[in-house]
């Protein structure tokens, strides 16, 4: 750990020294966020082979990143002359409560890692791990800013990676590695984005290989109005996951089945978003539809030592997500947020309505306290919950949170 600390400090000093001679600006920034959580995880069933009743439970825990993900980053630019700059951003994610990496222990800069060129008149072109244009088009219309831990829209979006009916339908993850992104200059509030990404493989949080991806978006911001449109197409990929448990009456009854490796079908994503500010109230709405391609005829999912579990088609269904809410600036230091969400999987009994309310009080420009309370009701085989929490099929989730955020 001492070696890592010295390396990071050395990198900062080197960048700062370079800035003195090459008109380079480098900024160290970050967020430290921690919260206490109460969760009621309702009863339901454990889907797939070996389906069984799962009793409800409640728990208390300390977690990280409920208001804003805990992180630190280095960003900077170098003036190359003629309106052209070299720019970069390296952004790490971590868990304040235990000091570990966030989401992927193999990725030093999980959140962002890119470098590129920016011109005052022609926009910017960047390369690396970056936010997807479709995410940028929706982000301002979520009252909880698409937070990866407590935002309800993150809960229903990331459910695509664990809901049995949509396991092979790809979801919008928010960030993409091996990508090239063009961002236009601001034309009277109008901005365009385009991304192309090459295949990438990760082992955490879920072993997965993604195919090539195209993502296009446009946003408008002005006169209290925000509009966003996005289109994303993901080519076929591959994922590994356990799809159930050994059935009753077998020596390993109730134990997870060996991980199955199955195809992720090509998926098109369409999104639209709008927000409008009236005085102290910002009204917000977004909608997305995820349309998978038909799986190969006769394709099935197998588990090592077990055999065929299900046709691949059982894991492929289109689904939609809708969110409506508002952010209220009650006082100069107090903000109130609320949102309702609904995830609906087509062609199967699988849907989840939910809502969340929150409040934030600023103790200073950098430090704030926040509250969250939320409810999700899974119907049919739906198993949506807030990220990092495992829910049974058909269960309900009740969440209450008190947290603190400090920005630097």
Tens digits of residue pLDDT in 199-251:
999 888 888 999 999 999 999 999 999 999 999 999 999 999 888 888 777 88
Q: What was the pLDDT predicted at 401?
A: 98
pLDDT of residue 7: 46
User: Do the Cβ atoms of 158 and 150 come closer than 8 Å?
Assistant: no
pLDDT at 193: 98
Q: Is 4 inside any structural domain? A: no
Residue 345 to residues 207, 317, 381: CA-CA distances in angstroms?
24, 7, 10
Structural domain includes residue 266? yes
Judging by DSSP bridges, how do beta strands 208-210 and 200-202 pair with one another? antiparallel
Residue 19, pLDDT above cutoff 50: no
| Dist. CA 87–CA 232, nearest whole Å | 25
Whether 13 is in a domain gets the answer: no
How close are the terminal C-alpha atoms of the chain, in Å?
Answer: 22
Q: Return the residue matching tokens 């600006």.
A: 25
- 281 touches 214 (CB < 8 A): no
* Residue 45 predicted with pLDDT over 90: no
Of 320 and 160, the one with more pLDDT:
320
Is 152 part of a structural domain of the chain?
yes
HEC per residue, the chain? CHHHHHHHHHHHHHHHHHHHHHCEEEEEEEEEEEEEEEEEECCEEECCCCCEEECCEEEEEEEECCCCCCEEEEEEEEEEECCEEEEEEEEEEECCCCCCECCCCCCCCCCEEEEEEEECCCEEEEEEEEECHHHHHHHHHCCCCCCCCCCHHHHHHHHHHCCHHHCCECCCCCEEEEEEEEECCCECCEEEEEEEECCEEECCCCCEEECCEEEEEEEEEECCEEEEEEEEEECCEEEEECCCECCCCCCCCCCECCCEEEEEECEEEEEEEEEEEECCEEEEEEEEEEEECCCCCCCEEEECCCEEEEEHHHHCCCEEEEEEEEEEEEECCEEEEEEEEEEEECCCCEEEEEEEEEEEEECCCCEEEEEEEEEEECEECCCCCCCCCCCCECCEEEEEEEEEEEEC
Owning domain of residue 252: 30-407
Total domains in the chain come to 1
Does 2 reside within a domain?
A: no
Query: In terms of Cα–Cα distance, which of 164, 275, 265 is closest to 219?
Result: 275
Percent of the chain clearing pLDDT 70 (strictly above): 93
Q: Which residues pair with 324 in a beta bridge?
A: 285, 340
Q: How confident is the model at residue 48 (pLDDT cuts 50, 70, 90)?
A: low
Q: Would you say 377 and 366 are in contact if contact means Cβ atoms under 8 Å apart?
A: no
Asked, for residue 8, whether it belongs to a domain, the answer is no
pLDDT at 55 over 60: yes
Of residues 7 and 300, more confidence is placed in 300
Q: How buried is residue 168: exposed, middle or buried, by Cβ count under 10 Å (0-12/13-18/19+)?
A: buried
CA nearest to 173, candidates 141, 199, 148: 148
pLDDT above 80 (res 123): yes
pLDDT at 50: 53
Q: What is the mean pLDDT of residues 293-320?
A: 93
**pTM of the predicted model over 0.85:** yes
Model confidence at 324: pLDDT above 80: yes
CA atoms within a 13 Å half-sphere pointing along the CA-CB vector of 123: 14
Is there a domain that residue 19 lies in?
Answer: no
23 inside domain: no
- With beta carbons less than 8 A apart as the criterion, state whether 288 and 138 touch: yes
- Please answer whether residues 237 and 213 qualify as being in contact, where contact means their C-beta atoms are separated by less than 8 angstroms: no
CATH number for the domain spanning 200: value is 2.40.160.10
Query: What is the sign of the dihedral through the CA atoms of 93, 327, 289 and 400?
Result: positive
* Confidence check: pLDDT of 309 > 60: yes
| Predicted pLDDT of residue 47 | 65
Banded model confidence at residue 3, pLDDT cuts 50, 70, 90: very low
Q: Is the pLDDT of residue 360 over 70?
A: yes
């Amino acid at each position: 750990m001492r070696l890592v600390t010295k390396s990071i400090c050395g990198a900062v000093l080197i960048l700062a020294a370079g800035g003195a001679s090459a008109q380079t600006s480098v900024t160290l920034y970050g967020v430290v966020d921690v919260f206490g959580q109460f969760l009621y995880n309702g009863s339901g069933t454990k889907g797939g082979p070996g389906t069984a009743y799962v009793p409800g439970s409640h728990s208390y825990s300390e977690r990280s990143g409920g208001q804003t993900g805990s992180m630190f980053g280095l960003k900077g630019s170098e003036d190359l002359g003629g309106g052209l700059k070299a720019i970069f951003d390296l952004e790490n994610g971590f868990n304040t409560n235990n000091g570990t990496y966030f989401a992927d222990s193999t990725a030093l800069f999980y959140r962002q890692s890119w470098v590129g060129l920016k011109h005052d008149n022609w926009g910017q072109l960047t390369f690396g791990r970056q936010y997807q244009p479709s995410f940028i088009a929706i982000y301002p219309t979520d009252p909880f800013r698409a937070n990866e831990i407590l935002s309800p829209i993150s809960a229903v979006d990331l459910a695509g990676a664990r809901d049995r009916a949509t396991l092979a339908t790809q979801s919008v993850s928010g960030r993409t590695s091996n990508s090239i992104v063009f961002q236009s200059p601001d034309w009277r509030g109008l901005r365009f984005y385009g991304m192309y990404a090459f295949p990438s493989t990760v082992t955490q949080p879920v072993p997965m290989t993604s195919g090539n991806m195209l993502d296009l978006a446009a946003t408008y911001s002005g006169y209290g109005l925000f509009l966003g449109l996005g289109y994303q197409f993901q080519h076929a990929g591959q994922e590994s996951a356990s799809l159930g448990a050994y059935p009753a009456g077998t020596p390993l009854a109730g134990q997870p089945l060996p991980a199955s490796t199955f195809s992720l079908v090509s998926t098109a994503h369409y999104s639209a978003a709008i927000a409008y500010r009236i005085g102290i109230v910002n009204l917000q709405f977004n909608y997305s539809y995820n349309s998978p391609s038909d799986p190969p005829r006769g394709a099935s999912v197998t588990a090592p030592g077990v055999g065929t579990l299900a046709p691949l088609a059982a894991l492929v269904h289109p689904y939609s997500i809708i969110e409506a809410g508002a952010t209220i600036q009650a006082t100069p230091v107090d903000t109130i947020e609320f949102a309702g969400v609904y995830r609906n999987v087509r062609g199967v009994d699988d849907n989840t309505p939910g809502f969340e309310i929150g409040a934030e009080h600023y103790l200073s420009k950098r430090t704030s306290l926040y509250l969250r309370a939320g409810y999700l009701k899974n119907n049919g085989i739906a198993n949506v919950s807030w990220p990092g929490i495992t829910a049974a099929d058909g269960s309900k989730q009740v969440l209450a949170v008190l947290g603190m955020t400090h920005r630097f």
